[in-house]
Amino acid sequence: MDPRTLREYADRATGNVGRAGPLWWLVATVLAAFVAFGVYAYSVQVRQGHSVTGVTHTVFWGFYVVNFVFFIGISYGGAITSAILRLTHARWRAPISRIAEGTALVTLLIGAASVLIDVGRPDRIPYLFLYAQPGSPITWDWVAITTYLVGTVIFFLLPLIPDVATYGETAQPTGPRGALYRALSFGWRGTPAQERALLRGIGIMAVLIIPLAISVHSVLAWLFAVTVQPGWHSTIFAPYFVLAAMLSGVATVILVIAAARRAYGLHEFITEKHFRYLTYLLIALDAAYLYFMFSEYLTDGYMQEQPLGHMLQLYLVGAYAPWFWSFAVGGLLLPIALVAVTGRAFVARSVAASLLVVVGMWAKRFLIVILPGVAQPLMPWEVYKPTWVELGITLGLVAAIPLGLMILFAIFPVMSVHEMEEVEGLGELIPLPARRLVPGGSAAPRGRGMGWRPRVVGAAVALAAVAAVAVVGGSRIPVAQGFFAPRVSVQVPPASLAEGPHERMPGTPTTVDTGAATGGDALPMAAAVAVEPSDDITRGYVVSAHVTKDTKPVGQVEVSFYDVIDLLGSRQMLIGSRLTDGQGEASVTYLPAELGHHDLVVRAAEADAVVAEARSSFDARVAAPRTYSREQLPLERFSSGLPLVAAGVLVVVWALFAFAFVGTARRVASGAGDASGPIHASRGVAAKARLEK
Partner 1 sequence: MARITRRKVLGGSVAAAGAIAAAFLPVGAEPRAAAVETKTQRQWAMVIDMRRCDGCRKCTKACQTTHHLPTSFEWIKVDEVVTKAGTRYFMPLPCMQCENAPCVRVCPVGASFHTSEGLVLVDQDRCIGCRMCMAACPYGRRYFNDSDPPAFANPFGHPTPEFPVPQQKGTVGKCMFCVHYTEEGKLPACVQVCNMLALYVGDLVADVATNGKETVRLSSFLQDNDAWRYKEELDTGPRVYYITGHGQDLEF
Query: By CB under 8 A, what part of segment 34-53 binds partner 1?
Result: 48-51, 53
Stretch that binds partner 1, among 196-204, 220-228, 355-363, 512-520 (CB under 8 A): 220-228
- For residues 288 and 310, what is the distance between their CA atoms, to the nearest angstrom? 26
Choose one: 68-76, 153-161, 225-233, 261-269; the region binding partner 1 (CB under 8 A): 225-233
Regarding 386 and contact with partner 1 (CB under 8 A), the answer is no
Strand partners, 520: none
Least distance (Å) between residue 368 CB and partner 1: 12
CB of 618 to partner 1, least distance (A): 17
Residue 488: CB atoms within 10 A of its CB come to 12
Residue 227 found at the interface with partner 1 (CB under 8 A): yes
Rule CB under 8 A: is residue 340 a binding residue for partner 1? no
Non-local (6+) Cβ contacts of 46 within 8 A are 122
User: Between 223 and 547, whose beta carbon lies closer to partner 1?
Assistant: 223
Give dist(CA 563, CA 594) in Å, integer: 11
For residue 486, count other CB atoms closer than 10 A to its CB. 12
CA dihedral 25, 29, 35, 39 (to 10 degrees): 120
Please identify, using beta-carbon distances, which residue of 284 and 485 lies nearer to partner 1.
485
Shorter beta-carbon distance to partner 1: residue 89 or 571: 571
Binding to partner 1 (CB under 8 A) within 618-637 occurs at 624, 626-628, 630-631, 633, 637
Point out which residues pair with 527 in neighbouring strands: 547
Least Å distance, CB 540 to partner 1, is 12
Nearer to partner 1, 55 or 113 (CB): 55
Q: Which is nearer to partner 1, 285 or 660 (CB)?
A: 660
Binding flag, residue 137, partner 1 (CB under 8 A): yes
277 touches partner 1 (CB under 8 A):
no
Three-state DSSP string of 472-507:
HHHHHCHHHHHHHCCCCCCCCCCHHHHCCCCCCCCC
- Among the listed ranges 245-253, 358-366, 489-497, 546-554, the one in contact with partner 1 (CB under 8 A) is 489-497
Pick the piece of the chain touching partner 1 (CB under 8 A) from 99-107, 113-121, 266-274, 579-587.
113-121
Coil vs helix vs strand at 644: helix
Burial (CB < 10 A; 0-12, 13-18, 19+), residue 210, is middle
CB of 670 to partner 1, least distance (A): 7
Q: Are strands 558-566 and 596-606 parallel, antiparallel or unpaired?
A: antiparallel
Cβ closest to partner 1, residue 601 vs residue 685: 601
Rounded least distance, CB 287 to partner 1, Å:
31
CB of 241 to partner 1, least distance (A): 16
Residue numbers 456-485 binding partner 1 by CB under 8 A: 459, 462-463, 466-467, 470, 474, 479-480, 482-483
Residues 6+ apart with CB under 8 A from 410: 16, 17, 18, 19, 20, 24
Residue 307 per-residue DSSP state = T
**Cβ at position 99, least distance to partner 1 in Å:** 31
Which residue(s) pair with 536 in the sheet?
none
Counting residues that bind partner 1 (by CB under 8 A) gives 97
**Cis before 230 (ω within 30):** no
CB of 664 to partner 1, least distance (A): 10
Cis peptide before 486 (omega within 30 of 0): no
Burial class from Cβ neighbours inside 10 Å (0-12, 13-18, 19+) for residue 589 reads middle
Q: Does 432 bind partner 1 (CB under 8 A)?
A: no
Residue by residue, DSSP assigns 210-228 as HHHHHHHHHHHHHHHHTS-
Q: DSSP 3-state assignment of 54? A: coil
Residues recorded for the chain: 693
The DSSP 8-state label assigned to residue 245 in this structure reads H
Tell me if 567 contacts partner 1 by CB under 8 A: yes
Neighbours of 35 (CB within 10 A): 18
Q: Which residue, 19 or 121, has its beta carbon nearer to partner 1?
A: 121
Residue 375 contacts residue 314 (beta carbons within 8 Å): yes
Position 491 contacts partner 1 (CB under 8 A): yes
Residue 539 touches partner 1, criterion: CB under 8 A: no
Q: Which one of 183, 666, 675, 690 is in contact with partner 1 (CB under 8 A)?
A: 666
Site residues for partner 1, 570-609, by CB under 8 A, read 571-575, 593-594
Residue 652 Cβ vs partner 1, minimum distance, rounded to whole Å: 7
**Given candidates 18, 120, 454, 555, which one binds partner 1 under the rule CB under 8 A?**
120
- Residue 378 found at the interface with partner 1 (CB under 8 A): yes
Q: Measure the CA–CA gap between 166 and 182, rounded to whole angstroms.
A: 10
Q: Decide if 355 contacts 252 (C-beta within 8 A).
A: no
- C-beta of 259 vs 470, nearer to partner 1: 470
Among 95, 360, 663, 671, binds partner 1 (CB under 8 A): 663
Least distance from C-beta 203 to partner 1, angstroms? 16
According to DSSP, residue 150 is labeled: H
Residue from the set 34, 148, 224, 269 that interacts with partner 1 by CB under 8 A: 224
CA distance 613 to 456: 86
111 to 116, 134, 208, 244: CA distances (angstroms): 9, 22, 21, 15
Site for partner 1 in 348-377 (CB under 8 A): 372, 376
Q: Name the one range near partner 1 by CB under 8 A: 151-159, 519-527, 540-548, 661-669.
A: 661-669
Out of 97, 139, 279, 682, the only residue in the binding site for partner 1 (CB under 8 A) is 139
- Contact string 53-72 vs partner 1 (x = CB under 8 A): x-x-xx-xx-----------
CA dihedral 123, 125, 131, 133 (to 10 degrees): 140
Which of 19, 175, 228, 495 is the binder for partner 1 (CB under 8 A)? 228
Nearer to partner 1 among residue 326 and residue 376 (C-beta): 376
* Reduced DSSP (H G I as helix, E B as strand, rest coil) percent helix, strand, coil of the chain, to 5: 60, 10, 30
Q: Residue 569, interface with partner 1 (CB under 8 A)?
A: yes
Among the listed residues 197, 223, 256, 278, the single contact to partner 1 using CB under 8 A: 223
Q: Indicate the residue type of 306.
A: Q
Part in contact with partner 1 (CB under 8 A); list of ranges 20-28, 351-359, 551-559, 656-664: 656-664
Of 108, 105, 72, 363, the closest CA to residue 241 belongs to 72
Helix (H), strand (E) at residue 528: strand 526-533
- Candidates 240, 236, 251; CA nearest to 331 is 251
Q: Which of 171, 333, 655, 679 binds partner 1 (CB under 8 A)?
A: 655
Shortest Å distance, C-beta 640 to partner 1: 5
154-193 footprint of partner 1 as x/- string (CB under 8 A): ----------------------------------------
